[in-house]
Amino acid sequence: MSRTIVIGSGLAGLSAAIRLAEQGVPTTLVTFGNGGLQLSQGTVDILGYAPERVDDPIAAIDSLPEKHPYRILGAQAVEESTKWIANIFGPELIEGDPHSNYLVPTAIGALRPSAYVMPSMAAGDARKVRSYAVVGIKQIKDFQTSMVAGNIARTETPDGGKYVTSETLMSLEPRPGEKDPTSYTYARAMKDPQLVNAFAAELKRVAGEGDVVLVPPVLSYAGVAKQVSELVGRPVAESIMQPPAAPGRLMQEHLVAYAKSHGVRYMLDAKVTGLNAEGGRVKSVNVELAGHERVIEADAVIYAPGGFESGALNMDSHRNITETVFGLPLSEHNGEGLITHKQDEPQPLFEVGVRVDETMRVLDESGKAVYDNFYAAGGLLAGAQRWDEKSGDGIAVASGKRAAEQVGESK
């Protein structure tokens, strides 16, 4: 039986695969690795800056350039898509509103605007908090309390004041002899009730003054943050932190399990090397798997491999930009002039990608579909400064869902 092939297992690919499965479309997800979602910060960002900080992401979409993926998709579709994925994650993993951005402290003391956050982060929302007791953990090296507290204290509050912070350090090994854990391994260890109790007791003892106690992301598993807060006697929130961290891993594991439970065939360590087309339609894709090449027939293909960060896009020493698997036409093919030397300015290079129509079909330079049944989603789409706008998650979900629904409608 012929199937729809989804290539890539990041947020875009998993969204597409799940939506296909919901429509009863036989789906195979082909991925070489585990996807970028496990390396994410554990939030679902829609739009944080445009270019100033955004309070209502959906309302700000119409202010974006016409070539932006959000303008192609439409604000209503973005809102519906992010509500849909939030429902799939469920309230134990994320909470929020597409019309309102949280301000979540990070491990460098910046405040990240995000529409959906993990419940373990919600109490730290800087729109509502005015003072933080920042507590680091000696065993976790990537959370420097002086930097976190200092940068938060230098930040202006929404009402024009300044945040008040205190800082201190606690020491508690997650397991005997484990002196250098990541925040992820520490969070996993916190599934042990004895460690939770010991952690809360030490945190209560050392934490300074502040309405909310802010710690590294070690409270991510369901119910841990609530239990620790109750034991400490005031809200305790975790910050956003660089990977490896538990929030992104939990989101990725949940979506993969959800996809499999809904009938998606998941092919890991499978590298797509090309496609076979006839009459303007893709008929099959070539996949390297377990030392041999396999041809998989396809009714349609949704291509969600990511962008430069995953190697789907590449710029060589001559500044030639290419899509590395299928040689798809791009919005720009040469990087000359697309990189600026001012770090606080957008980098036009990162807007390079494939052009798509409103159904997410990939287009050539003339605006014609490259193949009638070939769609793209996520970080490969042209027209967005995801890193600067904090728009990557919303683009991934909305474009993956739109492509999947177009495939479903064509069945």
Residue span of the structural domain in which 233 resides: 122-239
Q: What tokens does 72 get?
A: 């192609």
Write down which residue in 222, 239, 256 finishes a domain.
239
Number of structural domains, the chain? 2
pLDDT single digits (tens) 202-221: 999 999 999 999 999 999 99
pTM (two decimals) = 0.96
pLDDT of residue 2: 65
- Counting beta carbons within 10 angstroms of the beta carbon of residue 97, is it exposed (0 to 12), middle (13 to 18) or buried (19 or more)? middle
Please name the helix (run of DSSP H) or strand (run of DSSP E) that holds residue 76, with its range, or none. Answer: helix 75-89
Backbone torsions φ then ψ of 149, nearest 5 degrees: -65, -40
Assess whether 259 and 395 both reside in one domain. yes
Specify the pLDDT at position 340: 85
Please state the φ and ψ torsions of residue 388, each to the nearest 5 degrees.
Answer: -85, -40
Confidence of residue 345 (pLDDT cuts 50, 70, 90): confident
Residue 395 lies in a domain: yes
Domain contains 329: yes
> Is residue 274, in this structure, part of any structural domain at all?
no
Residue 171, C-beta contacts closer than 8 angstroms, at least 6 positions apart? 137, 138, 139, 202
> How far apart are the C-alpha atoms of 289 and 32, rounded to whole Å?
9
Q: Do both 146 and 77 map to the same domain?
A: no
- Residue 126 shares a structural domain with residue 233: yes
Total residues belonging to the chain: 411
Asked if the model's pLDDT at residue 1 lies above 60, the reply is no
Give the integer Cα–Cα distance in Å for 195 and 174. Answer: 7
Can you say whether the dihedral through the CA atoms of 99, 102, 108, 109 is positive or negative?
positive
Residue 253 and residue 402 in one domain? yes
pLDDT tens digit string along 307-330? 999 999 999 999 999 999 999 999
**Which is nearest to 88 in space by CA: 221, 245, 256, 218?**
256
Residues 6+ away with beta carbon under 8 Å from 328? 354, 362, 370, 376
What is the CA 37 to chain-centroid distance, rounded? Answer: 5
Q: Report the CATH number that the domain containing residue 204 is assigned in CATH.
A: 3.40.50
Q: What is the pLDDT of residues 27-86, one digit of tens each?
A: 999 999 999 999 999 999 999 999 999 999 999 999 999 999 999 999 999 999 999 999
The one-letter code for the residue type at 80 is E
Calpha distance 353→22 (Å, rounded):
28
pLDDT at 135 over 90: yes
Whether residues 378 and 313 share a domain: the answer is yes
pLDDT at 223 over 90: yes
Classify residue 101: in a domain, yes or no.
no
| Whether residue 252 sits in one domain with residue 335 | yes
Check which CATH number belongs to the domain holding 324 and give it: 3.50.50.60
pLDDT tens figures, 347-379: 899 999 999 999 999 999 999 999 999 999 999
| Domain assignment of residue 155, yes or no | yes
